[in-house]
Structure 1
Amino acid sequence: MSGERCDALIVGGGPSGATCARELRRAGLDVVILDKKTFPRDKVCAGWVTPLVLQTLEIDRDDYADGRVLQPISSFRSGMIGGDAVEVDYAEVVSYGIRRCEFDDYLLRRSDARLLLGEPLKQMERREGEWLINDRLRTPLVIGAGGHFCPVAKQLGARVGSGEPVVAAKEIEFEMTPAQRQACRVDARRPELYFCRDLKGYGWIFRKGDYLNIGLGREDNHRLSEHIDAFMDWLKASGRIPADIDHRFKGHAYLLYAHGNRPLIDDGVLLIGDAAGLAYPQSGEGIRPAIESAVLAAQTLREADGDYSVARLAPYRQRLEARFGPLETNDYSMIPDGLRQRLAAPLLKNRWFTRHVVLDRWFLHVHQPPLRTAA
Structure 2
Amino acid sequence: MDQYDVIIVGGGPAGSTLARALERQHKRILIIDKQAFPRDKTCAGWVTPAVLASLDIPPADYGQDHILQPISRFRIGMMGQPAVENDHHGVVSYGIRRCEFDAYLLDRTSCDKQLNTPVKTIERTGDQWLINGQWQAPLLVGAGGHFCPVAQKLGEGPGSHETVVAAKEVEFEMTPEQASRCMARGDTPELWFCRDLKGYAWVFRKGNYLNIGLGREDNHKLSDHLQRFVDDMKASGRIPADLPGRFKGHAYLLYAHAERPLADDGVLLVGDAAGLAYTQSGEGIRPAIESALLAARVIGEAEDYSVRSLQRYGAAISERFGVRALNQASGWQVPDWLRMPLASTLMRSHWFTRKVVTENWFLHQQVAPLEEAV
Normalising by structure 2, we get a TM-score of 0.97
Matched residues in 1 for 2:26 and 2:373: separation?
A: 22
Q: Which amino acid aligns with 1:80?
A: M
Matched-pair contact (CA < 8 Å) for 1:55–1:374: no
Deviation digits for residues 36-89 of structure 1 (CA, Å, limit 9, x no counterpart): 000000012111101010000001212211221000000000001221000000
| Letter matched to residue 20 of structure 2 | R
Residue 251 of structure 1 deviates from its aligned partner by: 0.3
CA distance in 2, matches of 1:36, 1:373: 27
> What corresponds to 2:316 in structure 1?
319
SS in 2 for 1:357: helix
Selected match of 2:306 from 300, 309, 323: 309
CA offset digits 1:15-56 (Å, max 9, x no partner): 000000000001000000000000000012111101010000
Q: Does 1:330 align with 2:327?
A: yes
CA distance in 2, matches of 1:349, 1:135: 58
User: 2:193 aligns to what?
Assistant: 195
List gaps (5 residues or longer) in structure 1: none
In structure 1, the residue matched to 2:368 is 369
Q: Percent identity?
A: 60
Partner of 1:177: 175
The equivalent of 2:119 in structure 1 is 121
User: Map of 1:5-24 to 2, 5 A cutoff?
Assistant: 5-24=3-22
Q: Distance in 2 between matches of 1:340 and 1:170?
A: 25
Q: 1:328 Cα shift?
A: 4.1
Output the CA distance in 2 between the equivalents of 1:271 and 1:209: 35
4+ residue runs of structure 1 moved beyond 6 angstroms?
Answer: none
Q: What residue is the counterpart of 2:50 in the other structure? A: 52
1:373 is displaced (CA, Å) by 8.4
* In structure 2, C-alpha distance between the alignment counterparts of 1:30 and 1:335, rounded to whole Å: 40
Aligned to 2:344: 345
Matches of 1:39 and 1:373 in 2, distance apart? Answer: 25
Residue 88 in structure 1 maps to residue 78 in structure 2: no
Note the C-alpha offset of 1:148: 0.3
> How big is each residue's C-alpha offset from its partner over 1:324-347, in whole Å with a ceiling of 9 and x where there is no partner?
000343222314132233211000
Cα deviation, 1:301-339, whole Å, max 9, x if unaligned, reads 00015x100011011001001100003432223141322
CA distance, structure 2, for counterparts of residue 349 and residue 161 of structure 1: 39
Q: 1:283 aligns to what SS in structure 2?
A: coil
CA separation of 1:315/1:260 partners in 2, compared to 1, >3 Å: closer, same or farther?
same
The structural deviation recorded for 1:219 is: 1.1
The answer for unaligned runs of 5 or more in structure 2 is none
Q: In the alignment, is the contact (CA less than 8 A) between 2:42 and 2:250 conserved in 1?
A: no
1:355 aligns with 2:348: no
2: distance between equivalents of 1:269 and 1:146?
13
Q: Which amino acid aligns with 1:369?
A: A
Instruction: Give the Cα separation in 1 of the matches to 2:243 and 2:373.
Output: 42
The 8 Å contact of residues 297 and 373 in structure 2, kept in 1 or not, is answered as no
Q: CA RMSD in A?
A: 1.4
Contact 2:148–2:157 (Cα < 8 Å) also in 1: no
Distance 1:141 1:365, change over 3 A: same
Please point out which of 227, 230, 241 is paired with 1:229. Answer: 227
Q: Which amino acid aligns with 2:361?
A: W
Distance 1:159 1:257 in 2: 15
Letter of the aligned partner of 2:320 in structure 1?
Answer: R
Give the Å deviation of 1:370: 1.8
Q: In the alignment, which residue of structure 1 is the partner of 2:297? A: 299
Residues 135-186 of structure 1 deviation map (CA, whole Å, 9 limit, x = unaligned): 0111111000000000000111114223210111000000000100000001
* Equivalent residue in structure 1 for 2:265, among 242, 260, 267: 267
Q: 1:213 aligns with which of 211, 220, 223?
A: 211
8 Å Cα contact 1:261/1:328 also seen in 2: no
- Whether the aligned pair in 2 keeps the contact of 1:72 and 1:95 (CA below 8 Å) is yes
8 Å Cα contact 2:30/2:111 also seen in 1? yes
Aligned residue type for 1:321: S
- Count of residues paired in the alignment: 372
8 Å CA contact 1:70, 1:97 repeated in 2 = yes
Determine if contact 1:149/1:161 at 8 Å carries over to the other structure: no
CA–CA distance in 2 between the matches of 1:86 and 1:230?
20
| 1:289-309 deviations in Å (ceiling 9; x for gaps) | 01000000000000015x100
1:91 Cα deviation from its structure 2 partner: 1.2
Relative to structure 1, the CA distance from residue 373 to residue 310 in structure 2 (aligned partners, 3 Å threshold; closer, same or farther) is closer
- TM-score between both structures, scaled by the size of structure 1: 0.97
